[in-house]
């Protein structure tokens, strides 16, 4: 009888001790299973882990994650993100890190997502700057929470919303708020300097050699060009009633005969080639005759490089409205913008690759 009681007591002790030993493991597992729900740009309710340690970025999302101050959490980016070219500043400032992590998509206009790589990598979440169908497809095939962002312009509410959402997800709200507040401050500053200037007192302007779906010469232009809109400039292309990038008939530019012309230095080879064939057109333009031709560094490369676009707006303002921007040094301002958005100055890197704020002589 005593032996039976002793055996029973031992069994109870074993069960109690086992329960004590397994208790913390169970609680830890429960902690790891905690989740929260966020709403992405498409209104999709996405359940994600409470704590995010790893991210994969598809489409152009890695750029926005850089602005939001959490690119260090990336373990997968696209092939485009690994290019390390100054035309995409975020790829340069993250070059060493991006080179060491996996490719999870091709990026670019013909973007392909590498589903198998994402499954193998198994990040906590995937953030995509892409269309909703692609996001749903990736989420269905990987089983990984996939969140969509879609910033549409340098001062657009969708851009601020993307930064706020990433801040909420990653716990970088303070960094995101600082970036947003600075951008809104620049937007207000640009507008305030020029908002009271009557159209009659403004020179007319044109931007050419704009890249969209590839490189273009002088005829590649932009209606409602954001850096011009930011400083309330009188863009002759706005007379078309269109919006966005387009090709324009050169004869129409002759009719407009803008006072100031801005060109993309990356496509000057195309402009100069056309100049050799059509010198009369260029030489008859008032802006060319007066030497009023300047650069606008291209900011559309694998989505919009917002920091370059804002810097372009300040340079355009300096040239179009010198009195109102007399206190602005465009290069110093550019590096101020780059410091906030990229974490470091960047103008010298652009300059080294031939992208600079300066006068342009067509034909050279």
Give per-residue pLDDT as tens, 42-94: 999 999 999 999 999 999 999 999 999 999 999 999 999 999 999 999 999 99
Of the CA atoms within 13 Å of residue 202, those in its CB half-sphere come to: 20
Q: All domains of the chain, ordered by start, with CATH?
A: 39-172 (3.40.50.1980), 189-352 (3.40.50.1980)
| 30-39, 188-197, 316-325: least confident range | 30-39
Q: Angle of helix 330-342 relative to helix 173-194, nearest 10 degrees? A: 160
What's the rounded Cα separation, in Å, for the pair 35 and 50?
5
Q: Is the pLDDT of residue 11 over 70?
A: no
Rounded alpha-carbon distances, angstroms, from residue 147 to 47, 160, 165: 10, 16, 10
- As to burial, measured by CB atoms within 10 angstroms (0-12 exposed, 13-18 middle, 19+ buried), residue 322 is exposed
pLDDT classification of 302: cutoffs 50, 70, 90: confident
The arithmetic mean of pLDDT across residues 156-161, rounded, is 95
Instruction: Give the pLDDT score at 269.
Output: 97
Sign of CA dihedral 343, 332, 215, 229: positive
Q: Is the pLDDT of residue 24 over 60?
A: no
Phi/psi at 295 (nearest 5 deg)?
Answer: -90, 150
Instruction: Give the pLDDT score at 1.
Output: 43
- Strand runs labelled E in 173-332: 204-208, 220-223, 234-235, 244-247, 260-263, 293-295
117: tokens are 């790589």
The arithmetic mean of pLDDT across residues 172-189, rounded, is 97
pTM equals 0.89
What's the rounded Cα separation, in Å, for the pair 314 and 34?
46
What's the rounded Cα separation, in Å, for the pair 167 and 154?
18
Give per-residue pLDDT as tens, 26-36: 233 344 469 99
């Amino acid at each position: 009888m005593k032996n039976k009681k002793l055996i029973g007591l031992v069994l109870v002790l074993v069960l109690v001790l086992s329960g004590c030993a397994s208790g913390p493991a169970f609680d830890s597992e429960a902690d790891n299973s905690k989740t929260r729900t966020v709403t992405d740009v498409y209104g999709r309710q996405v359940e994600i882990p409470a704590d995010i340690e790893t991210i994969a970025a598809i489409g152009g999302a890695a750029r926005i994650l850089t602005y939001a101050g959490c690119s260090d959490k990336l373990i997968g980016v696209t092939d485009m993100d690994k290019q390390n070219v100054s035309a995409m500043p975020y790829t340069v400032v993250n070059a060493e890190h991006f080179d060491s992590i996996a490719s999870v998509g091709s990026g670019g206009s013909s973007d392909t997502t590498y589903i198998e790589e994402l499954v193998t990598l198994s990040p906590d979440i995937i953030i995509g700057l892409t269309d909703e169908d692609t996001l749903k497809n990736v989420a269905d095939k990987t089983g990984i929470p996939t969140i969509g962002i879609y910033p549409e312009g340098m001062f657009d509410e969708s851009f601020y919303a993307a930064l706020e959402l990433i801040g909420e997800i990653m716990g970088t709200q303070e960094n995101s708020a600082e970036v947003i507040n600075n951008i809104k401050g620049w937007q207000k500053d640009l507008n305030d300097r020029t908002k009271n200037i009557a159209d009659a007192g403004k020179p007319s302007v044109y931007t050419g050699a704009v890249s969209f779906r590839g490189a273009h010469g002088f005829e590649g232009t932009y209606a409602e060009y954001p850096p011009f809109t930011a400083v309330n400039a009188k863009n002759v292309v706005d007379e078309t009633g269109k919006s966005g990038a387009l090709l324009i008939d050169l004869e129409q530019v002759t009719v407009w005969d803008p006072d100031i012309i801005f060109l993309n230095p990356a496509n000057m080879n195309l402009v100069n080639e056309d100049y050799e064939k059509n010198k009369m057109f260029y030489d008859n333009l008032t802006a060319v005759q007066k030497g009023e031709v300047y650069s606008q560094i291209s900011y559309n490369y694998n989505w919009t490089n917002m920091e370059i676009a804002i810097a372009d707006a300040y340079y355009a303002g300096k040239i179009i409205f010198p009195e109102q921007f007399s206190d602005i040094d465009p290069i110093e301002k550019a590096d101020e913008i780059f410091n906030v958005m990229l974490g470091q100055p960047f103008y010298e890197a652009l300059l080294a690759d031939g992208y600079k704020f300066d006068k342009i002589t067509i034909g050279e």
